[in-house]
Amino acid sequence: MRLFFLIIILFLAGCQSNAETNRNVDIYNSDGDMIGTAGFSEQPDGVQIKLKLEGLAPGFHGIHIHEYPKCEGPDFTTAGNHFNPEGKEHGLMHPKGPHLGDLPNIEADGGGLAEAELMLAGATMLEGKNSLFQGEGTSIVIDESQDDGISQPSGNSGVRIACGEIKTDPDAESTESPTDPTQFNEKQEE
């Protein structure tokens, strides 16, 4: 009988999980207007991101995951640098890259609408150094122009125009500060 209860307790404990594997994040422009959402979901190979945005300039825009869950406008520099826990160079086309937070460009149509499904390969929403929820979390940032896929440190994609906070605790205020974008590269050169 004791064995039966032990099995039941272990089964129920295994069913409980504090890990969140789905999250929707609101994205705001520099005026503080919500312009869309990003849906994040844990997948076997990484994190899938489903974007629905409006109010963008027509054309291509760089998009990245950044190191802090802090989106203070108008320039969103509080989001810090690209999420780069593995210490790689920027760019999906760089032979020593990419940053974990590098994503393919998105395209807004003539009406400023953009919908995309992207895969953040190697990332996770579970625990670990590649977790979007490491520390207090991360953020998703959209740039005014297309990312060229190789320029350092961030793809020559212009100013940040929109941001969404991916917080470990969505109700908490972030206390982390952004770092110097060249800080990691300088450490590598030493």
Q: Residue ranges of the chain with pLDDT lower than 70?
A: 1-20, 154-155, 170-190
As a three-state string, the secondary structure of 14-53 is HHCCCCCCEEEEEEEECCCCEEEEEEEEEECCEEEEEEEE
pLDDT tens for 165-176 read: 998 876 655 444
The verdict on residue 16 lying in a domain is no
CB 58, CB 108: distance < 8 Å: yes
Residue at 71 is within a domain:
yes
Question: Is residue 9 assigned to a domain?
Answer: no
pLDDT at 1: 55
d(CA 149, CA 10): 48
Q: State residue 22 phi and psi, 5-degree precision.
A: -140, 140
Predicted confidence at residue 26, as pLDDT, reads 95
- Give a yes or no: residue 127 inside a domain: yes
85 is a domain residue? yes
Q: Which CATH number belongs to the domain containing residue 41 in this structure?
A: 2.60.40.200
CB 28 within 8 A of CB 167: no
3-state SS class at 124: strand
Residue 183 lies in a domain: no
pLDDT of residue 12: 41
Question: What's the pLDDT at 94?
Answer: 76
Looking at residue 148, what is its pLDDT?
Answer: 78
pTM for this prediction: 0.79
- Count the domains in the chain: 1
Q: Is residue 184 part of a domain?
A: no
Residue-range definition of the domain harbouring residue 29? 21-172
Cα–Cα distance for residue pair 83/38, rounded to 1 Å: 17
Residue-level length of the chain: 190
- What was the pLDDT predicted at 174? 41
